Amino acid sequence: MAISPPSNRLWWKEPIHGIELGWIVIAFLWGLFMFFFMIAWHFIGEQNLSSETYKIQPDAYSEKVEAFASEFQAVDAAGNPIEEDGVPVVRPPAGGDAYILARLWEFWPILELKRGESYRIHLSSADWQHGFSLQPTNINISVHPGYEHVVTLTPTGSGVFGIICNEFCGIGHHTMTGRIRVVD
């Protein structure tokens, strides 16, 4: 309720002032430009991840990840499996597929990739919706149970990259982390 209501209650039938009409036209044209430029930027900007997504049963995906981890688990000079905090370190073949499983409250296993080589990273969840955020890069993906997301990744720098869950997934959400190591 206004302090002093307009004299004509049908305000939308009043003529629009030229300056106001100019601003409406500018805002409309800017909105159209941004809409179409977002589509174009996906193709010319090389910043948005193009991904494949497939339906899969969470149990079947978990089995794929376990088979992948046991086949490509890294070993030391003595032939002993390499683990960090009880999580296996896995060295997938360059140019091949690598699998990561999100589950309460970890990303499993730890991947060791080679710098400059492309990999197809498969992501899925065993239980809840999780977020895959690769730090310090700007790769963010919502990971859902029942869907296998595939992203092509070519590491350009070496080091340890942290994975954090950026979708609240329960009481242990703040501890849900993982790692991808990139070596030369």
19 vs 35: CA distance, rounded Å: 24
What is the total count of domains within the chain? 2
Q: Which of 135-139, 141-145, 158-162, 168-172 comes out lowest in average pLDDT?
A: 135-139
Question: What pLDDT score does 50 carry?
Answer: 62
Average confidence score pLDDT of the chain: 90
pLDDT at 4 over 90: no
Question: What pLDDT score does 2 carry?
Answer: 65
Confidence of residue 137 (pLDDT cuts 50, 70, 90): confident
Q: What is the CA radius of gyration of the chain?
A: 24
Please indicate, yes or no, if residue 5 is contained in any of the structural domains. Answer: no
82 vs 91: CA distance, rounded Å: 10
Give residue-wise pLDDT tens across range 67-115.
Answer: 999 999 999 999 899 999 899 999 999 989 999 999 999 999 999 999 9
Confidence of residue 129 (pLDDT cuts 50, 70, 90): very high
Q: What's 7's DSSP letter? A: S
Pick the most confident of 3-7, 114-118, 133-137. 114-118
Please indicate, yes or no, if residue 6 is contained in any of the structural domains. Answer: no
Over residues 126-131, mean pLDDT: 94
Please indicate, yes or no, if residue 141 is contained in any of the structural domains. Answer: yes
Helices (H), the chain: 18-44, 58-72
pLDDT at 31 over 70: yes
- Give me 50's structure tokens: 């193009």
Q: Are residues 38 and 57 in the same domain?
A: no
Please indicate, yes or no, if residue 1 is contained in any of the structural domains. Answer: no
Q: Are residues 26 and 78 in the same domain?
A: no
Phi, psi of 40 (to 5 degrees): -65, -40
Q: Are residues 39 and 79 in the same domain?
A: no
Q: Are 57 and 125 a contacting pair, CB within 8 Å?
A: no
Q: Are residues 40 and 87 in the same domain?
A: no
Q: Are residues 113 and 143 in the same domain?
A: yes
CATH number at residue 58: 2.60.40.420
128 vs 145: CA distance, rounded Å: 6
- Give me 150's structure tokens: 């595939």
Q: Are 68 and 90 a contacting pair, CB within 8 Å?
A: yes
Domain carrying residue 16:
12-44
- Whether pTM > 0.85 for this model: the answer is no
Please indicate, yes or no, if residue 112 is contained in any of the structural domains. Answer: yes
